[in-house]
C-alpha cells in the first residue's frame, strides 16, 4: 500500500519536474486542485450543553490534486483530522491518503484503477459519493471499466469501500447498463420523444463468521429503470430487489428488501410541477453486515428523503427528515409558478410562487414471530401505507422584486415531525410546528447590500418556540459580515431560554475564501442529500479556509 | 511522516503551476432530458463562456443566477456570451431542476451533475462557484460564493474577453 502511494507520488513529482523544466508546460499536462481547512477553538459552555473538548482545538483539512494529460488523468486526496471536529465521526483520526486513482479515458473506453465514485441509476441500488461537509465518504477502491457502444453505456466495477483510513471487510461487485434508445437508432436521433432503459446487478461478499446463524456470504441485488421524456413532460421509474441480507440494521432477519421510485414532471416557461412517490422496505445495504453506525458507514446504496431541502435554519436544521431505510412510503408534490411582469399579481418585475407538500409514513407490516425458525421477521407489500406517520411538510414561498433596490421572500411551513422515530427519542410526543420566514435583500448600490432574515418557529412540543434574526452585509466582491441570534424564548425550562449569538466575517478573492466565526451554535441536525449528522452544541472561534486552483 | 513530506512537496509544486493555463474538464453529465452529455463538447464559437455550479437548495446560487438572468439577453447581444448552469443536485432534487429552471424562465444551458463528477474534476469546494472561459475554452477566472453586485464585476471581465483583451 505505502509502496503504491510512493510510486504514485513519484510519478506525479516526475511529471511536475518536467513541466517546470520546460518552456511550454502545456504539452506536459495540467495540474489543479482544491484545499479546505477548518479549525475550531472550543470554549466550555455547560449551559448550552456543549460537550467538553480536552484538546481545546480541533481541525479538519484536505487537499485534492488532479493531474491531466490528454486521455490520462491521476489524482490524490490528502486528509488530516487533528482530531476531527465535533459532530464528525471520531473514527476520523490522523492523516492519510484515502483517495488516489489513475484513469484512462478513450473515445468509448474508460478504465479507472484506484479510488472512484459511481452511481447506478438514481443511486437506490448503488452510489459511491462524498459529502465532505458531513464527513461522509464511501468511495470504492478497486477497478472500474466503462464502455460505450452507440447508445449502450456499460459499467463494471469491483472493489472495497473506504472505512475512514482503512477499508470495509466486504467486496462489492457491480454491473450496470443504460440504453439510450434514441442514440442507437439514427431515425430516432432527432425525435421529440426520448426513451432510455437500464438495469443493474450488484453483489457484496463478506465472510460468515457468525457463531449462531448461517449467514449468506454473497448478497445480490438487482433492478431496472426507465426514463421517458417528451416536450416538457418526463416520467422516471426505478425498481430494486435485494436478496436476504441479515444485518445488525434489520436484527439479522432473512427477509429480502425492495425499493420502488416513480417521478413525473411537467414544465413550460413560467411553470413547473414535479410529483414523486417511493416505497422502500428493508433496504439498508452495507458492505459490512455488522456495522450499523449512525454515520452511515459502508453504505452501498443511497435513498434520499422525498421532502423539500430547506435552507433557513429553523426549517432546515431543527426538524429535518431522514429516510427510514427499514421501511417507508412517501409522496411529494412540488410546484413553481411565475406571475408574469405587468400582470396584477406579477407587478413590474414578476412574482414567483413555490409550493411543496410531502409526507412519509411507515409501511404496513404483519409480524411473523419466527425468530427461531425462518427468521423472515414480517410480511409487507409495496406501497402498503402504515398507520404511523413519520413526517409531513406543507410549505409555500413567495418571492418578489419590489423595486431596483429591494427583493423580498416570504415563506410559511407547516410541519409534522415524529421525533421518536426520526431522531430515535422514544416516548417523546410528535411535533407540530408552524414556521414563518421573511427574507429581505436591500441593495444600496452595485457593491453594497444588506440581507435580513426574520424567522419564527411556533410549537407546543419539544423545546417550544424559537426565533432567529440574521443580518448579513456584503461588499462585493470581497467582504461579508454576518450576525445571527437564535433565541429559544418558548422553552418551558426557563433556564434554557438561551440566546445563541453567532457572528462571521469573510474575505473572498477569486476562488479563495477565508471565514472567521465566533459564537454559540445550538445542537442540530445537518443534512446534505440523504445523509444527516447530528452536531452537538458548541461555543468558540472557528476559522475556515477554502481554495481552488 | 513520509506522507506529510510528500504532500507538502506536491502542494508546493502545485502552487508553482498555478499561473499555468487550465482547460475545461471533459466529464459525462446529463441533459435535462436525462440523455448523456460530455462537458468536453461545451462550445460557444470562440466567444466567452460562464460555467456556474449551483443547486436548487442553494439560496445564494439562485440569487446569482436570477440576477444574471435579468441582464442575460443584453449580455448575450453585446458579447455573444453563453452561460452554462451546472446543477449539483443529487437524485433527491434532480427531478425538480428542469421545473425550477423553466419556472424562473432561465435561458441558460443547464446540465445535471448528479454524483458530483464534474464538480470534482473542476475542484469545486462548494457552491456557488463560477468559472469564466475565454474563446479557446481556457479557464481565465473563477470565483467562489456570491454577493449582490458580483455579477457586475463578472460582466466587466466578459466584455474584456469579448474585446480580445486579456484578464489579469
| Whole-number pLDDT of residue A27 | 62
Cell 413550460 belongs to: A268
Cβ–Cβ gap B34/A234 under 8 Å: yes
Smallest CA–CA separation between B158 and chain A, in Å?
15
Residues in A closer than 8 angstroms to B153, CB to CB, are: 476-477
Residues of chain B with pLDDT under 50: 14, 16-19
CATH architecture, domain B24-162: 3-Layer(aba) Sandwich (3.40)
Residues in A closer than 8 angstroms to B38, CB to CB, are: none
| Whole-number pLDDT of residue A1 | 46
Cβ–Cβ gap A33/B14 under 8 Å: yes
Using CB atoms, which residue from A12, A129, A268 is nearest to B115?
A129
Q: At B79, is the secondary structure helix, strand, or coil?
A: helix
Confidence (pTM): 0.92
Cell 409531513 belongs to: A392
Return the domain boundaries, chain A: 1-31+65-105, 108-303
CA distance B62 to B151: 13
Residue A236 and residue A262 in contact, taking contact as beta carbons nearer than 8 Å: yes
Q: Strand ranges (DSSP E) for A109-248?
A: 109-116, 118-120, 126-128, 130-131, 136-137, 140-149, 152-163, 166-167, 171-180, 193-205, 218-230, 233-242
Q: At A45, is the secondary structure helix, strand, or coil?
A: coil
Q: Is the ipTM of this complex over 0.85?
A: yes
Summarised one tens digit per residue, pLDDT across range A148-178 is 999 999 999 999 999 999 999 999 999 999 9
Q: Looking at chain B, which residue has its C-alpha nearest residue A272?
A: B99
Helix (DSSP H) and strand (DSSP E) numbers for chain B: 5, 8
Fold of A108-303: Porin (2.40.160)
Summarised one tens digit per residue, pLDDT across range A409-463 is 999 999 999 999 988 888 899 999 999 999 999 999 999 999 999 999 999 999 9
Cβ–Cβ gap B102/A513 under 8 Å: no
> For A286, which DSSP code?
B
| Whole-number pLDDT of residue B4 | 53
Strands B109-112, B82-87: pairing is parallel
Provide, rounded to the nearest whole percent, the portion of chain B with pLDDT above 90.
Answer: 83
Residues in B closer than 8 angstroms to A272, CB to CB, are: 96, 98-103
Q: Looking at chain A, which residue has its C-alpha nearest residue B38?
A: A107
| Whole-number pLDDT of residue A342 | 87
Cβ–Cβ gap A194/B34 under 8 Å: yes
Q: Which three cell numbers stand for residue A220?
A: 445480490
CA distance A253 to A478: 56
Q: Looking at chain A, which residue has its C-alpha nearest residue B35?
A: A180
| Dihedral class, residue A444 (left if φ above 0, else alpha if ψ from -120 to 50, else beta) | alpha
Residues of chain A with pLDDT under 70: 1-27, 526-533
Torsion over CA: B113, B117, B123, B125 (sign): positive
Q: At A27, is the secondary structure helix, strand, or coil?
A: helix
Q: Looking at chain B, which residue has its C-alpha nearest residue A68?
A: B25
Residue B108 and residue B65 in contact, taking contact as beta carbons nearer than 8 Å: yes
**How does DSSP assign A54-104, residue by residue?**
TTSEEEEEEEEEEEEETTEEEEEEEEEESSPPTTS-TT--EEEEEEEEEEE
CA distance A105 to A110: 4
Q: Which three cell numbers stand for residue A75?
A: 489524482
Residues in A closer than 8 angstroms to B21, CB to CB, are: 26, 30
Q: Is A263 on the interface with B (CB under 8 A)?
A: yes
CA distance A408 to B70: 16
Using CB atoms, which residue from B18, B33, B101 is nearest to A549?
B18
Residues in A closer than 8 angstroms to B168, CB to CB, are: none
Amino acid at each position: 500500500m505505502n509502496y503504491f502511494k510512493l510510486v504514485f507520488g513519484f510519478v506525479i513529482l516526475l511529471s511536475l519536474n518536467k513541466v517546470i523544466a520546460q518552456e511550454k508546460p502545456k504539452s506536459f499536462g495540467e495540474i489543479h486542485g482544491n484545499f479546505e481547512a477548518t479549525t475550531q477553538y472550543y470554549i466550555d459552555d455547560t449551559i448550552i450543553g456543549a460537550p467538553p473538548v480536552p484538546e481545546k482545538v480541533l481541525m479538519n483539512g484536505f487537499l485534492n490534486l488532479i493531474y491531466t494529460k490528454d486521455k490520462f488523468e491521476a489524482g490524490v486526496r490528502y486528509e488530516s483530522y487533528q482530531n476531527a471536529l465535533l459532530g464528525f465521526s471520531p473514527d476520523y483520526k490522523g492523516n492519510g491518503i484515502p483517495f488516489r486513482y489513475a484513469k484512462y479515458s478513450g473515445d468509448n473506453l474508460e478504465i479507472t484503477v484506484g479510488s472512484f465514485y459511481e452511481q447506478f441509476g438514481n443511486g437506490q441500488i448503488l452510489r459511491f459519493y462524498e459529502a465532505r461537509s458531513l464527513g461522509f465518504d464511501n468511495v470504492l477502491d478497486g477497478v472500474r471499466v466503462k464502455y460505450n457502444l452507440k447508445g449502450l453505456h456499460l459499467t463494471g466495477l469491483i472493489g472495497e469501500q473506504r472505512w475512514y483510513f482503512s477499508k470495509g471487510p466486504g467486496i462489492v461487485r457491480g454491473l450496470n447498463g443504460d440504453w439510450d434508445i434514441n442514440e442507437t437508432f439514427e431515425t430516432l436521433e432527432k425525435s421529440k420523444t426520448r426513451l432510455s432503459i437500464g438495469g443493474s446487478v450488484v453483489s457484496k461478499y463478506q465472510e460468515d463468521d457468525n457463531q449462531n446463524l448461517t449467514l449468506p456470504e454473497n448478497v445480490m441485488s438487482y433492478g431496472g429503470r426507465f426514463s421517458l421524456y417528451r416536450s416538457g413532460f418526463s416520467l422516471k421509474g426505478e425498481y430494486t430487489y435485494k436478496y436476504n441480507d441479515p444485518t445488525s440494521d434489520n436484527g439479522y432477519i432473512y427477509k429480502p428488501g425492495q425499493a420502488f421510485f416513480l417521478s413525473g414532471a411537467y414544465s413550460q416557461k413560467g411553470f413547473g410541477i414535479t410529483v414523486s412517490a417511493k416505497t422502500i422496505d428493508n433496504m439498508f445495504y452495507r458492505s459490512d453486515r455488522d456495522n450499523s453506525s449512525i454515520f452511515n458507514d459502508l453504505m452501498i446504496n443511497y435513498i434520499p428523503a422525498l421532502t423539500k431541502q430547506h435552507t433557513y435554519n429553523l426549517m432546515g436544521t431543527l426538524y429535518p427528515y431522514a429516510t427510514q431505510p427499514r421501511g417507508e412510503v412517501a409522496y411529494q408534490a412540488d410546484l413553481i409558478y411565475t406571475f408574469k411582469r405587468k400582470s396584477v399579481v406579477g407587478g413590474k418585475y414578476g412574482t414567483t410562487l413555490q409550493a411543496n407538500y410531502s409526507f412519509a409514513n411507515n409501511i404496513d407490516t404483519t409480524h411473523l414471530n419466527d425468530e427461531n425458525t425462518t427468521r423472515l421477521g414480517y410480511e409487507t407489500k409495496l406501497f402498503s401505507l402504515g398507520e404511523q406517520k413519520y413526517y409531513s411538510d406543507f410549505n409555500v414561498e413567495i418571492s418578489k422584486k419590489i423595486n431596483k433596490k429591494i427583493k423580498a421572500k416570504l415563506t410559511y411551513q407547516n410541519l409534522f415531525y415524529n421525533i421518536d422515530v426520526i431522531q430515535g427519542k422514544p416516548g417523546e410526543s410528535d411535533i407540530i410546528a408552524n414556521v414563518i420566514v421573511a427574507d429581505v435583500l436591500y441593495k444600496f448600490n452595485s457593491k453594497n447590500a444588506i440581507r435580513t432574515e426574520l424567522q419564527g418557529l411556533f410549537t407546543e412540543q419539544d423545546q417550544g418556540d424559537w426565533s432567529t434574526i440574521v443580518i448579513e452585509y456584503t461588499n462585493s466582491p470581497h467582504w461579508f459580515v454576518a450576525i445571527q441570534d437564535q433565541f429559544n424564548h418558548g422553552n418551558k425550562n426557563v433556564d434554557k431560554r438561551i440566546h445563541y449569538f453567532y457572528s462571521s466575517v469573510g474575505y473572498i478573492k477569486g476562488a479563495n475564501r477565508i471565514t472567521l466565526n465566533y459564537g454559540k451554535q445550538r445542537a442540530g441536525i445537518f443534512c446534505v442529500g440523504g445523509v444527516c449528522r447530528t452536531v452537538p452544541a458548541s461555543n468558540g472561534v472557528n476559522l475556515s479556509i477554502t481554495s481552488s486552483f | 511522516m513520509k506522507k506529510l513530506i510528500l504532500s507538502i512537496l506536491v502542494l508546493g509544486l502545485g502552487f508553482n503551476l498555478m499561473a499555468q493555463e487550465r482547460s475545461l474538464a471533459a466529464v459525462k453529465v446529463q441533459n435535462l432530458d436525462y440523455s448523456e452529455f460530455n462537458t468536453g463538447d461545451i462550445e460557444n464559437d470562440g466567444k466567452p463562456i460562464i460555467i456556474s455550479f449551483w443547486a436548487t437548495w442553494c439560496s445564494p446560487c439562485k440569487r446569482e443566477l436570477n440576477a444574471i438572468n435579468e441582464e442575460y439577453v443584453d449580455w448575450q447581444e453585446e458579447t455573444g456570451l453563453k452561460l452554462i448552469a451546472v446543477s449539483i443536485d443529487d437524485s433527491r432534487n434532480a427531478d425538480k431542476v428542469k421545473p425550477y429552471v423553466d419556472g424562473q424562465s432561465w435561458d441558460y444551458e443547464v446540465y445535471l451533475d448528479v454524483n458530483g463528477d464534474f464538480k470534482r474534476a473542476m475542484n469545486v469546494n462548494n457552491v456557488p462557484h463560477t468559472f469564466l472561459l475565454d474563446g479557446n475554452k481556457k479557464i481565465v477566472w473563477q470565483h467562489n460564493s456570491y454577493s449582490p453586485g458580483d455579477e457586475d464585476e463578472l460582466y466587466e471581465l466578459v466584455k474584456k474577453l469579448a474585446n480580445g483583451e486579456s484578464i489579469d
